[in-house]
Amino acid sequence: MIALFSLLVIILLSFAVVRVGAIALELTGLSPEIASFQAQSAFSGAGFTTSEAESIVAHPVRRKIIRILILLGGAGITTTIATLVLTFIGEKGKDFMIRAGILLAGILVIFIFAQSRYIYNLMRKVIRRALERWTKLHIFDYEQLLGFGEGYSISRVGVRANSWISGRKLAESKLEQEGILVLAIYRKITGKEKFIGGPTGDTLIETGDVLICYSRQDAAEIFSRKKSSHPHKQHDGGLGGEDD
């Protein structure tokens, strides 16, 4: 039975480590969904390659968090497997079923514990204080800061060849009158994607650009309603977008 309870403790610690890692990543600016996914990926050693993973590697604090999760995950998985084998080795029939039942019940209790909002808020406060001491970087809850809970969102809007905004300067589009703020532009130049942060009114919008927009509604919907002043470029749905 010692091996069984040791296994439950290891599982509990694994849940706690992943949750701590996810909250730590979240406090560096990642959304809760992305932070949770990346923390689980790092701890399990799945190693998913995504654009979010690249942004994490390029961030010094996030990189440290992921490195710790990978190290703890490697040790945790190995220990869990070894303890699981010791828990059931030599057990048969009724004893085997009793141990399996205790293990499943323990995992269920741990899962409920891990989903507790009170525990989450408590851990968040503790981790936030630790990160503020650990790094000089400013740590923000970007979802709250940008008012995502109040109906605002960040959207990616692609500029197609027949779009009314293609070939215009940003100031000429008058997007601010529609409540759209263009935060950045992703543009492919000679096969490589270039990031243009904080574009000015003189920035020319080109076909193939991806606009990162901040607005109260989905920016793609607002674009689709906005009419062009160019007679040969009346809007015909030449934009595609997806909320981030």
Answer yes or no: are the C-beta atoms of 235 and 200 closer than 8 Å: no
6-49 pLDDT, tens digit per residue, is: 777 888 888 888 888 888 888 777 777 888 888 888 888 776 66
The average pLDDT across 131-148 equals 65
Listed by start position, the domains of the chain span 2-134, 146-243
User: What pLDDT score does 191 carry?
Assistant: 83
pLDDT at 232 over 60: no
Q: What is the pTM of this model?
A: 0.50
Domain 146-243: give its CATH code: 3.30.70.1450
The 10s digit of each residue's pLDDT in 158-200 is 888 888 888 989 999 888 888 889 999 999 988 888 999 999 9
Q: Which residue carries 């869990």 as its tokens? A: 80
149 compared with 234, residue with greater pLDDT:
149
**Are the C-beta atoms of residues 70 and 46 closer than 8 Å to each other?**
no
Quickly tell me which residue has 């605002």 as its tokens. Answer: 152
Q: Which two tokens stand for residue 52?
A: 């979010």
Mean pLDDT of 109-120: 78
Q: What angle do CA 115, 87, 83 make, to 5 degrees?
A: 70
Q: Residue 230: which pLDDT band, with cuts at 50, 70 and 90?
A: very low
The answer to which of 27-31, 119-123, 134-138 has the lowest mean pLDDT is 134-138
pLDDT attached to residue 41: 86
Average of per-residue pLDDT across 93-107: 79
Kindly tell me the burial class for residue 237, based on how many C-beta atoms sit within 10 Å of its own C-beta (0-12, 13-18, 19 or more): exposed
